[in-house]
Structure 1
Amino acid sequence: MPVVRTADLQSHQLHGSTFTPLIRPATGSAELCVWRLEVGPATTGVSHRILREEAFVLLSGSIALTIEGESHTLTPGDAAVAPAGSTISLTTTDLPATVMVTAPVGFTGELPDGTIVNPPWVN
């Protein structure tokens, strides 16, 4: 049974946020990816289109999650799912936030300029 130890994790920085992979092909998963997303206070995330479904569970802080132009404020314990092909963004308040995120293996995103992002935390 593959076990992922916190001490062995390597985090990635992108757009002012920290992505820490937990479950992914490199740790033995064939279908699922799970990562911890830490977003600093007063951060406005980059709007992007996701090419696969993505789910979010807010662990701490508060975020506004916008999916296809519809924004909802999440508080700890709240969850949301963004369908494949949707445009999303995430904004924090004056407090930092920690989000557990899951998506299928092969997850990618597309930035507004057309750049495809193949996140290293899902490989």
Structure 2
Amino acid sequence: MPFYREAEASPFERHGSRFLSYVAPARGSSQLCAWRLEIPAGLQGVAHRPTREEVLLVLDGELQVTLDGLRSELHSGDVALVPADSELRIDAGPAGATAWVTTTPGLQAVLADGSRISPPWAM
């Protein structure tokens, strides 16, 4: 189906954030994954290395994005292009934030200890 309503998004919770999956192989897509990321105020993210390139668009609020040690504040309308295998950490600003994330199927997140997570919102 080419149209997805907010009420039909599949919700997932991890590391204190909420992921609402709209587009993924499990939902009929063969080449893309996309979800809305909701991060509560002041939450400090978990550093990880995504195995696929990601595009992160801030919808509202403020995010502090650290990418391979380079930190930047992003606000509504700002975008981060996250290269595959780069170290990424996303922290929320004082009011929290919402972002739209797009990537390709097969995404995994490699944590600092070497463990891998296959995010269910991208499967």
Asked if Structure 1 and Structure 2 have the same fold, meaning a TM-score greater than 0.5 normalized by the shorter chain, the answer is: yes
Q: Which residue of 1 aligns with 2:34?
A: 34
Following TM superposition, by how much is the alpha carbon of 1:121 offset from its aligned partner in structure 2, in angstroms? 0.3
Following TM superposition, by how much is the alpha carbon of 1:2 offset from its aligned partner in structure 2, in angstroms? 2.9
Over residues 59-103 of structure 1, what are the superposed CA-to-partner deviations in whole Å (9 max), with x where a residue is unaligned? 000001111000111010001101011000001121110000001
- Which amino acid is the alignment partner of residue 62 of structure 2? S
- Which amino acid is the alignment partner of residue 44 of structure 1? Q
Is 2:74 aligned against 1:74?
yes
- Which amino acid is the alignment partner of residue 87 of structure 1? E
Measured on the aligned residues, the alpha-carbon RMSD in Å equals: 0.9
Uncovered stretches (5+) of structure 2, i.e. residues with no partner: none
CA distance in 2, matches of 1:26, 1:82: 23
CA distance in 2, matches of 1:13, 1:4: 20
Q: Is this contact kept in 2: 1:10–1:21, CA < 8 A?
A: yes
Is 2:51 aligned against 1:51?
yes
Is 2:29 aligned against 1:9?
no
Uncovered stretches (5+) of structure 1, i.e. residues with no partner: none
Sequence identity percentage: 38
TM-score by length of 2: 0.96
Moved over 2 A (4+): none
Q: Is this contact kept in 2: 1:65–1:91, CA < 8 A?
A: yes
Following TM superposition, by how much is the alpha carbon of 1:10 offset from its aligned partner in structure 2, in angstroms? 2.3
Q: Is this contact kept in 2: 1:4–1:27, CA < 8 A?
A: no
Which 10-residue stretch deviates more, 19-28 or 3-12? 3-12
Following TM superposition, by how much is the alpha carbon of 1:5 offset from its aligned partner in structure 2, in angstroms? 2.2
